[in-house]
Amino acid sequence: MTAVAGGLTPEERLLKETVREFAAKEIAPGAAARDEEERYDRSLFTRMGELGLTGLPFPESVGGAGFSYRAWTLVMEEIAYADMAMAVSLSVHILSQFPVVTWGSDEQRARWLPEMLAGRKLGAFALTEPGAGSDAAALRLSADRVGPTEAPTAYRLTGTKIWITNAGEAERYLVFATVDPAAGAKGVTAFLVEAGTAGFRFGRKERKLGIRSDTASELIFEGCEVLVANRLGEEGQGLRIALSALGEGRISIAAACCGLAQAALDAAARYLTERRAFGGVLAEQQGLRFMLAEMAQRVAAARALTRAAAEAKDRGEPIAEASSLAKWTASDAAMSVTTDAVQLFGGSGYSREFPVERMMRDAKGAQIYEGTNQIHRLIVADHVLMRIKGE
């Protein structure tokens, strides 16, 4: 489709405007109250499903809406502009479907995806454990084969996951376990597990600094039996599956960070045009105008890297480096822009009566989840060195 002003196609512009209107009307108004009450509003996820957002970036061949990933980043921006917590919930829901789309058998796709694509079932992505965060290959949740080693009929999962976004609310869990703890990355295997399966329950709910209206909880597996039909890919492919999905997820989180940062920038700019001091509005102070300009610069740079990463994915190119650059830059931009917004609001910025303190709390997590920003530096450095060595 022909590109128009802003580099967006008419279809993308319509999508952006539709989601912006929906988010402003239905998501933004309750964001502060949901944060205060740490309350997940499932009806908003259902509404996003009715609008087709819960399956938007997947091909029509698997039942998705067939939009590009660049279009998906526009959706993320708009939802996060209204409420970062809802954007993260939706992003993780999409993240948990990617591996089924890419690695699932026809039977698994037909069984697992339709209800998730439609937003009737919510997904979660369970990788992190108490002893395995950045070092995901060190995970210890065991998957013991039931039946012959060469042809198991099922696996028994035993162990604990922590910090699992959407946990408790979600019906569908993509769980990474190991068939051989001594094998490191080579033992990691992915499983599809439904809430309510015997031997699978929820543990402690995290009491978070930000995105407080989305849940994050422990998952506890006590000999939970999962049929071999629910193993995604082969034994030992799990880490590859997780990392490829995270490449995609990180672009989505980067886009959410752009939306969050834009919301803080707009709120601060509006405040400076209204707040009077020293015989005029604060927006007349050159020092503060410089701050606004620098905030806008960071948002624009983050958006450019995010869009470049999404376009690389749409062209089918490798995205590991581009998605790390985007996620690291955009989450740092969100953190610094929201912090500056609090500063520009003065005392009001520190008050829960105004939205910018929530935005600042919401931004912090994005520097940590889906790979900490230190891990993204390692990924980018690996690519720099590979190029030098001609690999």
Ligand X SMILES: Cc1cc2nc3c(=O)[nH]c(=O)nc-3n(C[C@H](O)[C@H](O)[C@H](O)COP(=O)(O)OP(=O)(O)OC[C@H]3O[C@@H](n4cnc5c(N)ncnc54)[C@H](O)[C@@H]3O)c2cc1C
Catalytic (active-site) positions: 370
The answer to whether residue 372 forms part of the interface with ligand X (CB under 6 A) is: yes
Q: Quick check: 100 and 192 in contact, CB under 8 A?
A: yes
Which is closer to ligand X, CB of 92 or CB of 337?
Answer: 92
The DSSP 8-state label assigned to residue 158 in this structure reads E
Q: For the CB of residue 122, give the shortest distance to ligand X in the complex, in Å.
A: 12
**Near ligand X by CB under 6 A, which window of 105-113, 120-128, 148-156, 339-347?**
120-128
Stretch that binds ligand X, among 24-32, 159-167, 276-284, 352-360 (CB under 6 A): 159-167
Q: How far is the CB of 167 from ligand X (least distance, A)?
A: 8
Residue 194 phi/psi, 5-degree rounding, is: -90, 145
CB of 145 closer than 8 Å to CB of 106:
no
Nearest residue (CB) to ligand X, 142 versus 165: 165
Per CB under 6 A, the list member of 126, 226, 261, 302 interacting with ligand X is 126
Binder among 8, 53, 92, 356 for ligand X (CB under 6 A): 92
Return d(Cα 187, Cα 370) in angstroms, integer. Answer: 21
Residue 133 CB, nearest approach to ligand X (Å):
2
Tell me: does residue 216 bind ligand X (CB under 6 A): yes
Give yes or no for residue 247 binding ligand X (CB under 6 A).
Answer: no
**Contact indicator for 181, 140 with CB cutoff of 8 Å:** yes
Residue 368 binds ligand X, judged by CB under 6 A: yes
Residue 378 or 386 with smaller CB distance to ligand X: 378
Q: What's the burial of 189, exposed, middle or buried (CB within 10 Å: 0-12/13-18/19+)? A: buried
Q: Which residues, including other chains, have CB under 8 Å from residue 256's CB and lie 6 or more apart?
A: 76, 77, 79, 80, 84, 87, 88, 91, 366
Residue 135 CA to residue 371 CA, distance in Å, equals: 10
CB of 105 to ligand X, least distance (A): 24
Q: Minimal CA–CA distance to 262: which of 353, 354, 356?
A: 356
Which residue ranges make up the site for ligand X (CB under 6 A)? 92, 125-128, 133-134, 163-165, 208, 211, 216, 365, 368-369, 372, 374-375, 378
